[in-house]
């Protein structure tokens, strides 16, 4: 069976379920693709072919298609521990051999996924460009002259080139988003603390996130949910309740015109305007926002005391091996020298002030829509201006972890020169699930395929689930039916239509005299063999359900209604005394039909 150019979890799961492929088949294909890949800088190390085959065989002998990632190969950024492979953080002198998987890797393995190897990165995850590594500079899959983005450079290229369906990166300043933009991928930057960082070499411990590159938002978000959850070994691990976003009419903040800075890259500037219009066509409301406090908060990351976190992470190594470090990375880390504890707290105060300033924006918008990066440098340009150009790359990413937001970078079309452009949706902490839904819509609307395959059709691929809101069912029979006068009480309260069907046969329906708007009354009449009455089963968020029920006027109320399929759900019934003198309309089969006939 032929494999698609871009491997996806969706394709492999279907193939495994139908028996057309085995994990060993897939691993053989992965081995072949890695060998054929023209970019020599993607991997720092990987399991040898025989080990990979053995892992696939073991998995194949215990088929567990219920495991959500059973037989799915993935790549791991080389600052995340995988037992059996060295962790280098792209610094050979720093390398160590971990005895255990990082918590996220262990969770993905437990879900059936197969780690293939460790990918290249900007040393110590310090950089957004992909050129700061002694293991070479990976390139965008669309141009051998252009950077891959970083710091999670190899992980992005591995997915975009079709070597593996997903990969793990890390993201402190944008390392899980910039490479997504440069390789036509989705990059999920989860809420801080949602995915454990135990077994990950720190960059800035208070900000670091494990991130996921995937072909689609659905796939990257699936991996996020599997890897997420509390971890006793990670002090920054935290739990939160899913924050919902509107499912329609999303309010999308974009930088006000003068703040749309692309440093002269008009191709990107134009594509951002196109992305805004496309977002509007999805029914979103565009809101111009003041981007200044976000941008200014971002300056704290490299121009403020947070570089001391990078020093804290490598202080002992730096003391003995400063000369073994990439010179640019070393210069950044050494920015911590001379910074005092007072400076550190002053930085915290400044950050809190920016957080306060951005609250007005968050009151006016649900998410931000930003260019993932303003420009797309060549490797040559990057090497000519390694610090300045890197800072420009992070213009729209650096603030996100400092201000405790979640983000998802998605493809947003191609420039005339064939290079991709990407945008990022930013939401409040714990809005990840809802962000994935909207990120998926943007990605599909851009119609630029995934990774190297610009023509890939996403239409057949799974959509990520919406945020999990606890809802309770309620069967409506009269003025609350779709299109009827009181239906707005359901839709306005976040109700969703579950199904249209009929009651069991032993119900009778009456037109209640004198009701405004006109309403019917339903009662059960055991033994009666009628046609069953038209009902709609809606689901209301729990609190809305309660308020709705508490407001129902007599003689109506909520009992339990048996449906034609035998299910029973809460639904509208009528007190029997109110039917005296009321016209029975059961033969019409429902309130809608009766109203149409009247």
Instruction: Name the residues that contact its own copies, by CB under 8 A.
Output: 205-206, 232, 234-237, 305, 308-309, 311-312, 315, 336, 339-349, 352-353, 355-356, 472-473, 523-526, 542-543, 545-547, 549-550, 552-560, 562, 568, 570, 573, 575-577
Kindly state the smallest distance separating residue 358's Cβ from its own copies, in Å: 11
CA distance 455 to 458: 9
Name the residue nearer to its own copies (CB basis): 86 or 501: 501
Q: Is 482 a catalytic residue?
A: no
Nearest alpha-carbon partner for 573 in 556, 586, 594: 556
Name the residue nearer to its own copies (CB basis): 277 or 577: 577
Kindly state the smallest distance separating residue 346's Cβ from its own copies, in Å: 6
Q: Where are the beta strands (DSSP E) in 50-103?
A: 73-77
Name the residue nearer to its own copies (CB basis): 106 or 207: 207
Catalytic residue selected from 77, 192, 392, 519: 77
- Residue 186, strand partner residues: 214
Kindly state the smallest distance separating residue 552's Cβ from its own copies, in Å: 7
Q: Is 118 a catalytic residue?
A: no
Q: φ and ψ at 423, to 5 degrees?
A: -125, 160
Name the residue nearer to its own copies (CB basis): 160 or 336: 336
- Residue 534, strand partner residues: 502
Kindly state the smallest distance separating residue 132's Cβ from its own copies, in Å: 22
By CB neighbour count within 10 A (0-12 exposed, 13-18 middle, 19+ buried), where does 198 fall? middle
- Residue 286, strand partner residues: 252
CA dihedral 580, 586, 592, 595 (to 10 degrees): -60
In sequence order, the 6+-apart residues with CB closer than 8 A to the CB of 325 are: 91, 123, 124, 318, 333
At 405 the three-state DSSP class reads strand
Name the residue nearer to its own copies (CB basis): 22 or 362: 362
Q: Is 151 a catalytic residue?
A: yes
Kindly state the smallest distance separating residue 343's Cβ from its own copies, in Å: 5
89 φψ region: left (φ > 0), alpha (ψ -120 to 50), beta (else): left
Q: Where are the beta strands (DSSP E) in 552-593?
A: 556-562, 568-574, 583-584
Catalytic residue selected from 140, 148, 152, 175: 175
- C-alpha radius of gyration, the chain, whole number: 28
Question: Residue 145 in contact with residue 409, Cβ under 8 Å?
Answer: no
Name the residue nearer to its own copies (CB basis): 356 or 500: 356
Kindly state the smallest distance separating residue 235's Cβ from its own copies, in Å: 4
Whose tokens are 């006068």? That residue is 485
Catalytic residue selected from 140, 148, 151, 155: 151
At 374 the three-state DSSP class reads coil
CA distance 484 to 482: 6
Tokens read off for 288: 């111009």
CA distance 262 to 250: 25
Name the residue nearer to its own copies (CB basis): 14 or 346: 346
Name the residue nearer to its own copies (CB basis): 18 or 580: 580
By CB neighbour count within 10 A (0-12 exposed, 13-18 middle, 19+ buried), where does 217 fall? buried
Name the residue nearer to its own copies (CB basis): 80 or 556: 556
By CB neighbour count within 10 A (0-12 exposed, 13-18 middle, 19+ buried), where does 418 fall? exposed
CA distance 586 to 567: 21
Question: Residue 362 in contact with residue 259, Cβ under 8 Å?
Answer: no
Q: How far are the Cα atoms of 48, 49, 69, 141, 501 from residue 34, in angstroms, in the given order?
A: 11, 11, 21, 14, 53
Kindly state the smallest distance separating residue 493's Cβ from its own copies, in Å: 12
Kindly state the smallest distance separating residue 185's Cβ from its own copies, in Å: 32
Kindly state the smallest distance separating residue 362's Cβ from its own copies, in Å: 12
Instruction: State the alpha helices, DSSP H only, in 365-398.
Output: 379-384, 388-393
Please give the positions annotated as active site.
77, 151, 175
């Amino acid at each position: 069976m032929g494999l698609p150019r871009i491997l996806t979890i969706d394709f492999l799961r279907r193939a495994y379920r139908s028996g057309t492929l085995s994990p060993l088949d897939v691993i053989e294909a992965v081995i072949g693709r890695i060998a054929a890949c023209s970019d020599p800088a993607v991997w720092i190390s990987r399991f040898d072919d025989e080990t990979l085959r053995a892992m696939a065989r073991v998995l194949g002998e215990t088929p567990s298609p219920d495991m959500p990632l059973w037989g799915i190969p993935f790549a791991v950024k080389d600052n995340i521990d995988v037992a059996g492979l060295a962790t280098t953080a792209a610094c050979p002198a720093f390398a160590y051999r971990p005895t255990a998987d990082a918590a996220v890797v262990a969770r993905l393995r437990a879900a059936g996924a197969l780690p293939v190897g460790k990918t290249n990165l900007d040393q110590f995850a310090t950089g957004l460009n992909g050129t700061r590594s002694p293991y070479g500079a990976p390139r965008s899959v669309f141009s051998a002259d252009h950077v891959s983005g970083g710091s999670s450079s190899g992980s992005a290229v591995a997915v975009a080139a079709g070597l593996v369906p997903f990969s793990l990166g890390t993201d402190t300043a944008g390392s899980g988003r910039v490479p997504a933009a440069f390789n036509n991928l989705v990059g999920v930057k989860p809420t801080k603390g949602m995915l454990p960082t135990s077994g990950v070499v720190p960059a800035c411990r208070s900000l670091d996130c494990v991130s996921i590159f995937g072909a689609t938002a659905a796939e990257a978000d699936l991996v996020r949910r599997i890897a997420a959850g509390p971890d006793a070994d990670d002090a920054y691990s935290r739990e939160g309740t899913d924050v919902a976003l509107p499912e329609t009419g999303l309010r999308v903040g974009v930088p006000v015109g003068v703040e749309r800075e692309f440093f002269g890259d008009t191709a990107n500037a134009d594509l951002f305007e196109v992305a805004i219009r496309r977002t509007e066509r999805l029914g979103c409301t565009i809101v111009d926002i003041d981007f200044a406090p976000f941008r200014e908060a971002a300056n704290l990351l490299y121009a403020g005391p947070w570089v001391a976190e990078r020093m804290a992470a490598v202080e002992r190594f730096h003391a003995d091996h400063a000369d073994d470090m990439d010179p640019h990375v070393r210069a950044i880390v050494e920015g911590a020298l001379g910074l005092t504890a007072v400076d550190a707290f002053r930085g915290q105060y400044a950050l809190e002030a920016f957080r306060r300033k951005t609250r007005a924006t968050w009151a006016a918008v649900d998410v931000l829509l930003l260019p993932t990066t303003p420009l797309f440098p060549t490797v040559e340009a990057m090497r000519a201006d390694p610090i300045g150009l890197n800072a420009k790359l992070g213009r729209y990413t650096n603030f996100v972890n400092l201000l405790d937001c979640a983000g998802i970078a998605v493809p947003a079309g191609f420039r005339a020169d064939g290079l991709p452009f990407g945008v990022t949706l930013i939401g409040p902490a714990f809005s990840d699930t809802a962000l994935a839904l909207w990120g998926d819509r943007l990605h599909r609307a851009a119609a630029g395929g995934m990774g190297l395959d610009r023509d890939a059709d996403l239409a057949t691929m799974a959509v990520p689930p919406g945020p999990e809101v606890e809802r309770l069912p309620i069967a409506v029979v009269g003025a609350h039916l779709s299109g009827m006068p009181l239906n707005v009480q359901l839709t306005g309260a976040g109700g969703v239509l579950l199904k249209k069907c009929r009651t069991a046969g032993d119900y009778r329906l009456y037109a209640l005299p004198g009701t405004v708007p006109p309403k019917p009354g339903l009662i059960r009449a055991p033994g009666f063999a009628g046609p069953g009455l038209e009902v709609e089963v809606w689901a209301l968020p729990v609190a809305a359900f309660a308020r709705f029920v508490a407001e129902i006027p007599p003689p109506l109320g909520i009992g339990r209604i048996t449906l034609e399929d035998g299910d029973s759900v809460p639904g509208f019934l009528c007190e029997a005394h109110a039917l005296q003198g009321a016209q029975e309309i059961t033969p019409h089969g429902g309130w809608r039909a009766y109203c149409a006939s009247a």
